[in-house]
Structure 1
Amino acid sequence: MNKNQFDTIEKAEAFLLSIPKFGNVGRSAANFSLDRMISFCELMGNPQNSVPMIHVAGTNGKGTTCQMLASVYQEAGYKTGLYTSPHLIDVRERFKVNGEWIDDEHLLEFFQEFGKEAIELKLTFFELTTAIAFWYFNKQKVDLAIIETGLGGRLDATNVIDPLVSVITSIGYDHTDILGDTLEEIAAEKAGIIKLNRPVVLGRLEPEAQSVIESIASAKNSEVYHSQKLNPEFKDGHFVLHPADNSIYINAKGRKKIDAVNTAMAWMVVGLTQSTFPVPDEAFVDGIEKMDQRFGNHAHFSRIHPKKSWYFDGAHNVESTRELVKELKSMASVENWTAVLSFMDDKLNQEIADIWNEFPNIMVFEQEGDRAASIKKMNSYFPSSKAINSDKATQLFTSDDNKTELVIFSGSFYFYKTVRNWMGTEAYENT
């Protein structure tokens, strides 16, 4: 292989997308060692060491928290990098600077400079995209970068950085085949992002998970900050935080109630970096409220149609599904909702099915890929559900005759692009 292999952006992107992704094939697409990542970063000149970073891990809420932080720092005037996964529409959306995706010119430049070495080292898809993020943020001379882990923490490809602050949003039962069967084991893996003498901010955690994280933090002389001390709450359409003797009110339109906790974590992170990156309270509030304007493509209770009350949420484990359904019930009774569900095979279990089976109107859709749950399996968990294919869904969700007022699409982040395609150009013009 030589550098001429990447003489066009089409060839570079084709190579990148040809690498097996965890979302499609699961565990076989991952590499649970940092050796290759460390070697490749050294080859690039360790760009991750040239940019101040904030590192965010957690079972649920980490993507939203990352977007909140990126929006707040951007609002305060800082050139801000944001690396998140998975991508929903286009691989370029994983790499953002001030809300803008990486352009073709820079993506091609990376492959022309380091593509040959990436092939030789046999980087996984996530390792390679993480390396691109580090290189790009350094190239763009960002003031600060927000980095979301992919899976776990301790052996995650992102865990070669020394962040200003680490954040652990939540601990729940997800990827148990990789991270462990107990909350304590999963917490220990997530806590692997805690660095020596660097503070860590925690979200809402079960006592057994919190205890493990506090123990690991103590061993690393990392001070622990609990977002729950801000008593975050949802009140009259606002998130309310209670720092010291003050109260901070933030418009929560379009957000789930659980995002009050994510907002509290963001507040604490901003406080911990205040000496280096000052952020006025007003910029914090405006940054949270402008988040959806800056990051329109997201799968966290996103309104997916401009004219109808149709929502998408990527909830794919028990905790996130339970929070989502609680939110839906607060809006209307389950009889008024149509739930359109699609799962990865390893994510569908009886506990998740029991939560959704409260809804009398359920449709199921089988995605492409080796990890996708089959119609047969979904029907076994949802016996009264109706199976749909893309043709039927497109006809149903673009028809002016469709009287369905409330629809929730859920079960998998990877379902997002398919749903947007069903909506046609209207959905794309909306975000």
Structure 2
Amino acid sequence: MIPQFQRYITKWGLTVRQTIDLDGDRMTSLLQALGSPERSVPVIHIGGTNGKGSTGAFIDELLRAHGETVALFTSPALIDVHDQLRLNGRLVREEELDRAFEELVAVDVTAELTEFELLTVIAFLVIRAWNPTYAIIEVGLGGRDDSTNVVLPEVAILTSIALDHVAVLGSTTEQIASVKAGIIKPSRPVVVGTLDEDARRVVETVARMQEAPSFFLGTDFTVETPLPETYRGEKTYTWSSRLLEGVHQASNAAVALAALEAIGYPLDASRVTAAIERTTYAYRFEQVREFVWLDGAHNEAAARALVASIEQKWPGHLIDVAIGMLARKDIRAVVDVLRPVVSNWYCVDFDNEEAARGSDVQALIGPSARVVTLDDMRAMIDAPRTTPLVMTGSLYLLAQL
């Protein structure tokens, strides 16, 4: 469930489907009845397995640095539904959501939407009322049949493709790429991050079929690391620091720049540098205390990116890791990737109906791992430390710390 969203649903007398049911027809007919709010402003549509949030944050900061008004729709919620929809960085207000619900119930709502479909419709209505110069829309799940895939974007972005949500999207990167490439639209550019060969072939094929100009990281544009970093695409941009730490964030910044170049957006070099350097995003290798970091590495690919960040920041050193994950994730794969850089493990019991028990995670790691509560973790965050601690896994865990 989306935190705090149910009270709006109840308040306005609506019901939602309780199962994931990817059917775009329900969305299309309802949006038409509402006057197609999803077509009201220029959209940048972001899909992929990992990196969507960070790439969206870079684009948001870049556009705002150039004087644009930007709406941002992301998922999942970090704290509650209000942080999923922002205008120039501020969270959507309760009265703005209420006005959108009022507009929705004024039409004959015959289709029972899933919770995320309903949120997507509400987001489009709020964005239309805001009338920003750009809206950045993040895919919820997959791509082809996702409720956000009713937009006709200025550019589509595929940040990465890796194994995640395999029960719904497929068990190979080729299958997942086929679903995620469904956001590519006819004659609209698509910008693509780092993919394996199988996934890339799928995306290239879909782009050709859609006659969509395609731009791939490493081929059509590049980023040179380590810091100071240099982007080379249509033009060259450099920056000497990033608040968003991690090797992989250089790639996300490059994808963001390539997307704006793909739509012909006029970028100013000094504003690009300032925007890249000051971009932040919660729970992406985020330092919250001295020697304490939060990172939402909830699948194998994200864990590999986290390990690369750890090895870059503390070369040759082991660190402490606290982990809590949803039971449906491939916990063993994440643990196995992290294991070479970990000295002490803490397995967290946290409040979510889908959460794996700390003892189950401990069983995958070994008896040396400690099972801890959320209160234990909060105390560890506040206690003085002399060695690094990274808290990772589910975003739902990190939001409770």
TM-score after normalising by structure 1: 0.85
1:79 matched to 2:80? The reply is: no
**1:342 touches 1:365 (CA, 8 Å); kept in 2?**
yes
Q: How many residues align?
A: 393
Distance apart, 1:395 and its partner CA: 3.4
Alignment match, 2:348:
365
The 1:349/1:395 distance shift into structure 2, 3 A limit, reads closer
User: Which amino acid in structure 2 is aligned with residue 94 of structure 1?
Assistant: Q
Distance 2:6 2:193 in 1: 41
Match for 2:8 among 6, 12, 16?
Answer: 12
**2:347 touches 2:359 (CA, 8 Å); kept in 1?**
no
The percentage of counterpart residues that share the same residue type is 28
CA RMSD of the aligned region, Å? 2.4
**1:250 touches 1:288 (CA, 8 Å); kept in 2?**
no
User: Which amino acid in structure 1 is aligned with residue 268 of structure 2?
Assistant: P
Equivalent residue runs for 1:2-401 within 5 Å = 11-12=7-8, 29-115=19-105, 120-229=110-219, 230-235=221-226, 237-243=227-233, 246=236, 248-274=238-264, 277-292=265-280, 298-305=282-289, 308-332=290-314, 336-358=318-340, 359-383=342-366, 384-399=368-383
User: Which amino acid in structure 1 is aligned with residue 297 of structure 2?
Assistant: A
Alignment match, 1:414:
396
Superimposed CA distance per residue, residues 48-76 of structure 1 (whole angstroms, 9 cap, x where no aligned partner):
11111011100111111111111111111
User: Which amino acid in structure 1 is aligned with residue 50 of structure 2?
Assistant: N
Distance 2:19 2:350 in 1: 18
Superimposed CA distance per residue, residues 317-373 of structure 1 (whole angstroms, 9 cap, x where no aligned partner):
111101101211222257542101000001133322212233120101122233111
| Secondary structure of 2:328's aligned partner | helix
Alignment match, 1:422:
none
Distance 1:348 1:337 in 2: 22
Superimposed CA distance per residue, residues 128-185 of structure 1 (whole angstroms, 9 cap, x where no aligned partner):
2211221111111111111110111000110000001111111101111111111111
Distance apart, 1:263 and its partner CA: 1.3
**Larger helix percent:** 1
Distance apart, 1:117 and its partner CA: 6.2
Structure 2 unaligned regions, length at least 5: none
The 1:15/1:178 distance shift into structure 2, 3 A limit, reads farther
Distance 1:334 1:129 in 2: 45
The 1:279/1:19 distance shift into structure 2, 3 A limit, reads farther
Structure 1 unaligned regions, length at least 5: 1-8, 22-27, 420-431
The 1:162/1:413 distance shift into structure 2, 3 A limit, reads same
| Secondary structure of 2:218's aligned partner | helix
User: Which amino acid in structure 1 is aligned with residue 174 of structure 2?
Assistant: E
Superimposed CA distance per residue, residues 191-219 of structure 1 (whole angstroms, 9 cap, x where no aligned partner):
00000111111101111111111111111
TM-score after normalising by structure 2: 0.91
The 1:265/1:363 distance shift into structure 2, 3 A limit, reads same
Distance 1:51 1:31 in 2: 27
Distance apart, 1:90 and its partner CA: 2.5
Superimposed CA distance per residue, residues 367-423 of structure 1 (whole angstroms, 9 cap, x where no aligned partner):
223311112311111112101112333333334xx435311010111112212xxxx
**1:118 touches 1:128 (CA, 8 Å); kept in 2?**
no
